[in-house]
Amino acid sequence: MQLQRGQVVEFDIHALAFGGAGLGKYEGLTVFVDHVMPGDRVKAAFTRLKKQYAEADLIEIVKPSADRIKPCCKYSEVCGGCQLQFMPYEKQLEFKKQHVIDAFERIGKIYSPPVEDVIGCKDQFYYRNKMEFSFGYDAEMNFALGLHLPGRRYDILDLDVCYLQSEFTVVILNAVKKFMIALGWPPFKYSCGQGFLRSLYIREGKRTDEVMVNLCTSDDLPSAIEEGLEAFVEMINSLGKVSSIYWTQVISERGKARKFKEKLLDGKTMLREEMLLENGDSLYFDIPPQAFFQVNTFQGEVLYGEVLKIAGLKEHGTVFDLFCGTGTIGLFLAKHGEKVIGVELNEDAIKVASENARLNNIFNIDFFHGDVAKMLRNLKEQPSLIVVDPPRAGLEPKVINQLNKFNAPEIIYVSCNPSTLARDCGLLAQYGYKVEKIQPVDMFPHSFHIESVTLLKR
């Protein structure tokens, strides 16, 4: 009998793929289905049929896995923020470690890779220091403030609770929603480009208790905007604890790059956060509204601590910190080396990095704005250690070629994507670099994401 779309079949789930989809077999065909875990027996309806695999929507869990647990969040089955809440945390860590191993063997062709056990997150809920909540409409076109539904470009899941950032975040979320409904300001409709309210950003200093609220809107201003913003500031301040309130207009014109117009409505211009490593190193960071900062402060400390451990805390000569972002790794390395050179394409990030170097009285680090591949051609220093922390796409071949020319004895590769990490380590192996250690660090409990710190030597 030929399989058809919409056909409901029953099968067992035996593994998880990267991305969190469950893997099962039906009549020899591999089937991907979401919201399941190994050990589940499920009924699912085919949505896509290919020669080598199929995709299906979950209809029913016929028999749950013995390891399955009840999620604490009522939105877990529809929200994309915590895909694996139904899985015990120790099982999540096992899955993430195996995914790193599989990536190295399948993609990098590096067999029996030296992958350590995943360093788990002490706080599995309320761990994020930044959240973006979107204004919009739910499926019934009611006012909504929450998160985008997975696979739905325009529909917003209206939230009144979230376990990702903090209990105070939920207080702000619900207060802003109530305020905006009463005020009558319309959410922005992405489908037609009309409306006002776009998103609500909330940042927290996990070690400093500072809070930044940033209301992002379009530039299609409603009437009585000044009075409305004054009332908004008064309402936010009545909640207590908030140290900065911003209003950011997102200006979009067809054929032109998007622009952001920020206005400080009340409080401090930046949020200050502290990072404290296990070895006692401490740094402060001033973070403006649009700047990137590691979203899990405490586990970020663990990640950067692993970088320092692997580096050996020895007096390296010159260290290259490539794709340095706002300079967090480089600034910690500068406390233990002669000189650090940071390179980053994002000019705003470089400005923040330089300011935070001055804030912490660190003067043996230089930051350069530019494309990493181009900058490497112009750097004359000979590094004894190179640290790379590229985006999810990994390293371009021309960057790997440039790294080889510096002949650094050690490379530390910080990655948020096991697939591109494995690919790049396989390419670096062709230049004589051997993977000595891979330390996964779980930055995002209940999701499939995993960070890794990898040491390569030659």
CATH number of 191's domain: 2.40.50.1070
Q: In this structure, what token pair is assigned to residue 141?
A: 């076109």
CATH number of 56's domain: 2.40.50.140
Instruction: Report angle CA 186, 189, 193 to the nearest 5 degrees.
Output: 115
Decide which of 238, 272, 306 is a domain's last residue: 272
Does residue 234 lie in a domain region?
yes
- Are 384 and 319 contacting, i.e. CB atoms less than 8 angstroms apart? yes
Helices 418-429 + 397-406 axis angle, to 10: 50
Does residue 77 lie in a domain region?
no
Q: Do 301 and 437 fall into the same domain? A: yes
* CA–CA gap between residue 128 and residue 214 (Å, rounded): 16
Q: Do 346 and 450 fall into the same domain? A: yes
Q: Do 57 and 155 fall into the same domain? A: no
* Distance from the first to the final alpha carbon of the chain: 56
Report how many helices (DSSP H) and strands (DSSP E) the chain contains, helices first. Answer: 9, 21
Q: How far lies 261's CA from each of 98, 197, 216, 289, in Å? A: 44, 15, 10, 11
- Are 47 and 53 contacting, i.e. CB atoms less than 8 angstroms apart? no
Q: How far lies 84's CA from each of 118, 170, 197, 253, 448, in Å? A: 16, 21, 31, 39, 7
- Are 42 and 61 contacting, i.e. CB atoms less than 8 angstroms apart? yes
Which stretches of 107-253 are DSSP H helices? 167-183, 225-238
Does residue 282 lie in a domain region?
no
Q: Do 250 and 351 fall into the same domain? A: no
Q: How many domains does the chain have?
A: 3
Taking only the tens of pLDDT, the chain with its 458 residues reads 689 999 999 999 999 988 789 999 999 999 999 999 999 999 999 999 998 999 999 999 999 999 999 999 999 988 888 889 999 999 999 999 999 999 999 999 999 999 999 999 999 999 999 999 999 998 888 999 999 988 777 789 999 999 999 999 999 999 999 999 999 999 999 878 889 999 999 999 999 999 999 999 999 999 999 999 999 999 999 999 999 999 999 998 777 888 899 999 999 999 999 999 999 999 999 999 989 899 999 999 999 999 999 998 666 689 999 999 999 999 999 998 889 999 999 999 999 999 999 999 999 999 999 999 999 999 999 999 999 999 999 999 999 999 999 999 999 999 999 999 999 999 999 999 999 999 999 999 999 999 999 999 99
Residue closest to 38 by CA, chosen among 68, 8, 62, 59: 68
Q: How far lies 339's CA from each of 38, 283, 363, in Å? A: 49, 17, 9
Does residue 386 lie in a domain region?
yes
Residues in Cβ contact with 246 at an 8 Å cutoff, skipping those fewer than 6 apart: 212, 213, 214, 215, 262, 263, 264, 265, 289
Does residue 79 lie in a domain region?
no
Domain of residue 41 covers 8-63
Does residue 50 lie in a domain region?
yes
* CA–CA gap between residue 48 and residue 157 (Å, rounded): 25
The SS3 call for residue 369 is: strand
Q: Which residues of 162-179 are buried (b: 16+ CB within 10 A; e: fewer)?
A: bbbbbebbbebbeebbeb
Q: Do 105 and 142 fall into the same domain? A: no
Does residue 254 lie in a domain region?
yes
Catalytic-role residue among 121, 162, 324, 416: 416
416 is catalytic: yes
Does residue 253 lie in a domain region?
yes
Q: Do 190 and 301 fall into the same domain? A: no
Burial of residue 293 (CB within 10 Å: 0-12, 13-18, 19+) is buried
